[in-house]
Structures are given as C-alpha cells and as structure tokens.
Structure 1
Amino acid sequence: MTAIDDSTARDPDALRADMVRALRDQDGITSESVAAAFSAVPRHLFAPGAPLARAYDLHGIVPVKQDEHGLNTSVMSAAHLQAVMLEQADVKPGMRVLEIGSGGYNAALMQELVGSDGVVTTVDIDRDIVDRARLCLDDAGYSQVKTVLADGETGVPDGAPYDRIIVTAAAWDIPPSWISGLTENGRLVVPLTVRGTTRSIAFDRGGEGLISHSYRLANFVPMQGEGAAKERKAMLREGVAVQTDDEQVPLNVEGLNHALDTPRREFWSGAAYDLPDELELYLTLHLSSPARLHASAEVIASGLVDASTRLGVPTLVTEDSFAYRTRRENEDTGGFESGVVAHGPQAEALADEYLRLLRRWAQDHRRRGAATIRFLPGPASSTLPENSVLKRHGVVAVSWH
C-alpha cells in the first residue's frame, strides 16, 4: 500500500490531496480535468467501513462482494487504474457516458468530467451492487447519475448513443450493443482479455469495427452474465495451475504434471528482458499453443518453478511438455536477459519456438505502444488475419510495428 503520513491518516481531505499528488507523480493522472475530478469526489464515501488508508491507497482495491468461494465478484478498483482509464477515455463536458460495471465512485468521477450538461449512466447485473452504488452516489451528492440493473452485454439502449462507454470488468468479447451504442466519434474503453492476458484498450471506430487508440496494463474481476469468459483451468498439483480460454490448447493434467517432475531445463536468448507487460502481450498473441502458468508463493520458494509464474506467465504447452519465460542478470543485454524454462520430452523444441519470439520482440518491437489492436465484428472469414483471435462476436487482430 502507498505510505500514509500519520498526521493525515484520519483526514480524508488531506488523504485525497495526497492521492492526487501521487497519481500525478506516477503518471496515472496527466490532465487537469481528471485531477479536478479526483480532488472533488470523496472516495471514502464509496468504501463505507473500509479504513481511510485503504480507501485512498493508490494501488489497492476495496472488496465489495464475494462469491461462496471467497473470490471477489465486485471491487472498487485501484485509484491508479481508474485514473489511467479515465485519461484513456478523454471524457469532455456535456458528453453522454455509459459505465458497464457499477461501484459508484467511478461514475461520480465521470459526472464531474461531463459536468451539469452531461449524462452518466452506470449499469450492473447484480442487484446488490446497483443498490449499493445508488446509496453511495446519493450520500456523496451525485443523485443525477443514473443507475440501471441489467446485463452489461446488452448495454443500455434507452440512453444511446453514447460518446463514451467505459467497461470496469474484464471482458472476454465485445458485443454488438457496445459498438452500435457509440456515437460516430465515440470511444470504448474496455479491459479486454485475449488468451488470458488483459489490457485496458481505448478503441475508436474504424470502419465497421474498432481500432485501438491506446492500451495499458489492467487487472479486473471478470464480467458476469452473457459476456462471461469460458476459461479452462487445470490444477497440476497443489499450488500449480495452467489456465487458457483457447479451446484448441491441450490441457492434459497427467502429462503436464509428469513433465513438471522431469528435470528443469534453461535456455537463454541473448536478448534483453524489458517492458514485461509489452513482452507478455506479444508472447500471448504469437505462441502457437498458449496458456498461463500460475504457481503459489510456497511452490516458487521450493524452487520447483520460476518466480515469473507468481502472477501467471505466458506458457507454450503440448500434451506432455511446457515452456515459459524467465530472466537472469546480464549487463551485456542492458541489465537482464530473457530466457526459457522448459520441462518434458519436447522441452528443447518448445524452447526453440519461445526463444525465437523473445529475440524477435527485443529486436523489432521493444518499446511501448508497438501494437495496434483491431476488433472486427461479425462472422470470421475463412482466412483469419495473422496474429488474430476468434471471439464469439468477432475477431481481435493485432499488428506490431
């Protein structure tokens, strides 16, 4: 959590001012309008019961609701992520804005941005969340924000078209209602999940589909309802799991677990390890059979798998082998060198494919914003574009510059 000065720990106004300064320092806030909105909205009123320090922590979430397994189904997102997405959205006074995924606080920020002549509507599938958002908005003085109970997959046609649609849950797909619900010059900001990797993408209209204006690292609870992802998860053993949303990727628990018992083999690329969020997006789109390998802190500490697996790492898998990214210190490559850890009888072949991608990225695409992401709605053609992923409602196609 962001450090809090003891002298201001019980003063929400001082905490809010500290939060805005820190968001500016960390480039979460880059415009005066977003700074003014964060300065105006009392964030703690949307986190009743939470300690003030947690409510104003830059990078911490505030849990709102959990399922029967104790997993978060709704949270108040981290302030830094909310600021980044609002900067991506570029909300102007007088706009009509739709938020998909309610919490209250983000909608209040948007109301500050659109002003008295603008309209903000927030929608959620969960009655408890909508009711909570309504109470918090009224308590904070934002009664003009409209709250709607509905599945976000269908949008809110009554208020369409919108100048901005901002989605605050990880979406696996982009339904037709979101595109048709935009004005001609509208923008959709959505945390889109592609092969298990999520990025907040600001999409503008491009022909019949969408084209990215920017993309940033993001982490959200998944969409519920019709738009929910159909991911597969295989527990190899206690504390080790492999996950994918690609139906073509094999998840052979017995074969992959046996591979984990084979000797660990390391291969080194001679290429720089840098900008891990950009690199992981590139790997996700280029690996021939991609999944994500996750491991607990205890398993990592035992030495069985590398620390890169803690938050999930792009992994190339077959029925009986797998390979994933690692790194080591190497001043000759600028500080760190990328490499591959591989297990199983096909370890060397998988490592060769992975190493080629690591070298190509370091040589040709090692910078921020190298990708252009398009969403092409409708049925897929017989020949998909290179580096594309088929979704229910269309195709995500990515080109690299």
Structure 2
Amino acid sequence: MTEHMTPQELRNRLVDQIVKTSLPGLYDARVEDAMRTVPRHDFIPRTPLELAYANQAVTIKDNPDRDALPLSCVSQPDVVFFMLAQLSIQPGNNVLEAGAGTGYNAALMRHLTGPAGNVTALDYHEDVAAHARQRLDATGFSEVRVLTRDGALGAPEYAPYDRLIATVGIWDLPTTWWDQLAVGGRLVLPLRWRGLTRSIAFVREADCLRSESLATCGFLPMIGQDGEREGYVDEDRLVKLYWDADQPIHPLSLRKTLAEAKEHLQWTDVAVAPDEPLDGIWLRLSALDPATCRITVRPEAFTSTAALHRPAIPALSPALVAGDSLAYLVLEPVDVQGSGRYRLGAAGYGPAGQELAERLGTAMRAWDHNRTLSPSITAYPAQTPDEELAGGHVIDKPSVRLVITY
C-alpha cells in the first residue's frame, strides 16, 4: 500500500503519528506546518521513501571504526519536532545551529523564521557541510548559511542570536555560546551528564541559563569534548561503565568484585508497567547522588559461571559506583493475577554494595512519589561563586556549573 503513496502523503502520515504522540507541552502548530511542508526525502536522496518518512534516524556518515558510533545522522523526526517546539522560533529570528547534518533541520528553521530571519548552520565535517549546502540549494533554501567549523566556536560574525540549537550531544556548554546568545534568547541542546542525555530548553538571563523544559533524547556526541569516560570492567568485555571526568571511577577496581558476583538484592514496593519508561529514576539519581553513572551488560554476563543479575535495561541502566563497589537497577515480575507489572529493586556488589543498593532504592521511592515531576536545571558560567548559585545539586564542568533542583 505504501509503495503507491506520494511523498506528501507519506510525510503527512508521519507527522500525524508524531502529533498524536507528542510530548505534553511540546506541541507547536507552526512546527507541524513546517514538517508537513519541507521534503525530508530530498535531504537524504539515496534513502528509500519509506525509510525517509519512518520515525527513525538515518546515518549519513559512517564511522571507520566498526565499534564506534556513526559520525553524522539525520535525527529521528519526533525528536526534531519536540526540539523545534522547545526552540520556539519566531518570524524574523536570527538562529544558529551546531551540527548541520543533511541541512533538513536548517530548512525547517528557515521556514519558521520566514524571509525576515536568518539561519546559520555549522558542521565539523567538510563533506557533511557540503552535502547540506547542496541539498539546501536544491530545495529552495539557498539563504541558509552553511559553514565548515567546529560548532563549539559558534559564528560570532553573525551574532547575536535569538535562538541557538545543537543537534549533537553536548557535555560542556561552550563559553562562546554565552557570548553569542542574546539575553532573553533560547538555547536548546541535548545535554549529557552522568551517562544520560536530555534535550533542555534554556532561556538566557543576564548571569545564567534557566531550563524551561526537558525531554529524553539521544544524540551523537560533539567532536572535541572529552569529558566523558568509558571502560570495561571485565576481561571478556561484557560489562562497561560510562561516567564523567569529575568522578573518581576506575572500572578495573571492580574486576574482582564482579568476578565473585556476590550480590546484595534490595527490593522496593515501586512497581511499573512493562512499557513504562524508567529514565526519571536516572534523572533523580543525578540530582541526589554524585556516584551516578551508566552501566551496559551484554547477555553473556547473565549466563556465565559467576552470573550477574540482569539490569533493568541491559544496554542503558543507571548505576552507582564507589571504589570497588557498585549497584544498578533491576526488576522482576509481580505475579498479581497476570498484571504484567514489575517491581523495581537494586543489585549491589562489593563491600559497599548493600549501601549503594539502598541509595538506589531511595531514588526510586522519590521518583515514585511524583513520577512526572521534572527538575529545574540552571547553568552558570564556571567562575560563578557558590553563594550566587540556586539551591540544588551542583555538577561542575570546565565551562559551566549545573544546578539540578527538584
């Protein structure tokens, strides 16, 4: 049936699906109109139409390292939708984009600014920027500027900007962006900390950036930011940790602990539906516990002689690590008349495993008290003294101080 649909029909079908499932508070009728108008398939011409209008990301530049992430992708359409809703572009705005990709996002933004506005898109890779330039010219968006440049540098020659968006994962907020974003302007970026990523809409004030909305997302990391660490715990490379540079985490310190696999299980009364997201627990942990990080465990680790307990989400689970001890989120079925629900708990390993599991349980119960509550995240320049920060948990990075407040 779909093979007989026109690109416009496929585009409308996709946007209908996105609007139907859009996140609460992140709908913008003007963004809907832009996505119904701008032809996504023309920006990825070698992609089959059905895939071009599927709600999934499309790789446009592979990584020569087979074990690494792609170097460039066109973002998943529903993520494009809610990030542009967060950005709230107005006619006449001057917009900067870090991460040009195919040029599709820049075209949508040009549609939103109208002829009185300006859009400048930056990309680190010369061939990616050239593709974006060619596609924008071919689709009638030749007014968009495309520059081959490290996105962290911005484009001061066209500043100040009313809107700034990053379509790559950002670990540390470049100081250049503070200088180039006008007071009252909006910054939307996929911010990374403690192994998680959130698309955050910040509003620029004189001395800080205050969050207005948060949404779960995943993006390739920006090239040149080296604050994230990763490493395997075991010789078989089945268990891997992801953490931040300011955290005293050393995976090899856990090798003996995990080899022995002596676990401390702590169960809570918190129950979830099979398809209920658990990312709110991770977000809570990042605001409560400086030991928060991410663990990934391959299936073979559950069936080995010293078998580990299966994490709640093997490829993407929050964990706490302290010295030679760790704990992570687990779940098990709740057999109540075939309810299909699961109760949550924590598996701890090492001398402090029980204590870490109890700390995880504290975060689960806090989340259970109000599962939809989002924190306020305020970003300050790195030199801001403690007494000028909002109350909350502080995470320091080289260029920015983040304060997470519930």
User: Taking structure 1 as the reference length, what is the TM-score of the superposition?
Assistant: 0.90
CA 1:258–1:52: 2 relative to 1, 3 Å: same
Give the residue type in structure 1 aligned to 2:107: A
Partner of 1:316: 320
Partner of 1:68: 64
Partner of 1:339: 345
Partner of 1:292: 294
Q: How does 1:254-273 map to 2 (within 5 A)?
A: 255-256=254-255, 258-273=257-272
CA 1:301–1:36: 2 relative to 1, 3 Å: farther
Determine if contact 1:260/1:343 at 8 Å carries over to the other structure: no
Partner of 1:362: 368
Task: Note the C-alpha offset of 1:331.
Answer: 8.1
Determine if contact 1:260/1:344 at 8 Å carries over to the other structure: no
Determine if contact 1:324/1:341 at 8 Å carries over to the other structure: yes
Determine if contact 2:2/2:50 at 8 Å carries over to the other structure: no
Give the residue type in structure 1 aligned to 2:113: V
**SS across alignment from 1:349:** helix
Give the residue type in structure 1 aligned to 2:58: V
Tell me the distance in 2 between the aligned counterparts of 1:96 and 1:170: 22
CA 1:251–1:6: 2 relative to 1, 3 Å: same
CA 1:202–1:245: 2 relative to 1, 3 Å: same
Determine if contact 1:98/1:166 at 8 Å carries over to the other structure: yes
Task: Note the C-alpha offset of 1:144.
Answer: 0.9
Partner of 2:214: 215
Task: Note the C-alpha offset of 1:219.
Answer: 0.3
Task: Note the C-alpha offset of 1:125.
Answer: 1.4
Cα deviation code 1:224-261 (max 9, x no counterpart): 13x44342323423332111114333224253453253
Tell me the distance in 2 between the aligned counterparts of 1:213 and 1:288: 24
Tell me the distance in 2 between the aligned counterparts of 1:194 and 1:57: 29
Partner of 1:92: 90
The one of 279, 282, 301 equivalent to 1:280 is 282
Structure 1 position 348 matched with structure 2 position 354? yes
Give the residue type in structure 2 aligned to 1:57: A
Cα deviation code 1:148-206 (max 9, x no counterpart): 11111111111111110010000001122212211222000010111121100000023
Tell me the distance in 1 between the aligned counterparts of 2:99 and 2:282: 26
**SS across alignment from 1:355:** helix
Give the residue type in structure 1 aligned to 2:379: F
Determine if contact 2:182/2:204 at 8 Å carries over to the other structure: no
Partner of 2:247: 248
Tell me the distance in 1 between the aligned counterparts of 2:106 and 2:302: 40
Determine if contact 2:282/2:318 at 8 Å carries over to the other structure: yes
The one of 8, 26, 29 equivalent to 2:21 is 26
Partner of 1:189: 188
CA 1:7–1:127: 2 relative to 1, 3 Å: closer
Shifted more, 382-391 versus 27-36: the winner is 382-391
Partner of 2:33: 36
Cα RMSD (Å): 2.4
Task: Note the C-alpha offset of 1:47.
Answer: 1.1
**SS across alignment from 2:312:** helix
Give the residue type in structure 1 aligned to 2:31: V
Task: Note the C-alpha offset of 1:214.
Answer: 0.3
Task: Note the C-alpha offset of 1:62.
Answer: 0.7
CA 1:251–1:309: 2 relative to 1, 3 Å: farther
Structure 1 position 156 matched with structure 2 position 152? no
**SS across alignment from 1:202:** strand
Structure 1 position 52 matched with structure 2 position 49? yes
Give the residue type in structure 2 aligned to 1:97: V
Structure 1 position 398 matched with structure 2 position 404? yes
CA 1:260–1:315: 2 relative to 1, 3 Å: farther
Shifted more, 216-225 versus 287-296: the winner is 287-296
Shifted more, 241-250 versus 231-240: the winner is 231-240
CA 1:260–1:346: 2 relative to 1, 3 Å: farther
Task: Note the C-alpha offset of 1:399.
Answer: 0.4
Cα deviation code 1:24-49 (max 9, x no counterpart): 11116722211110011110111121
Determine if contact 1:41/1:108 at 8 Å carries over to the other structure: yes
- Consecutive unaligned residues of structure 1, counting only runs of 5 or more, are none
Determine if contact 1:271/1:337 at 8 Å carries over to the other structure: yes
Give the residue type in structure 2 aligned to 1:64: I
Determine if contact 2:287/2:405 at 8 Å carries over to the other structure: no
Determine if contact 1:203/1:212 at 8 Å carries over to the other structure: yes
Give the residue type in structure 2 aligned to 1:221: L
Give the residue type in structure 2 aligned to 1:51: P
- Equivalent residues, number: 391
**SS across alignment from 2:32:** helix
Partner of 1:13: 8
Cα deviation code 1:317-350 (max 9, x no counterpart): 1232210112234489994432111222332122
Shifted more, 30-39 versus 272-281: the winner is 272-281
**SS across alignment from 2:54:** coil
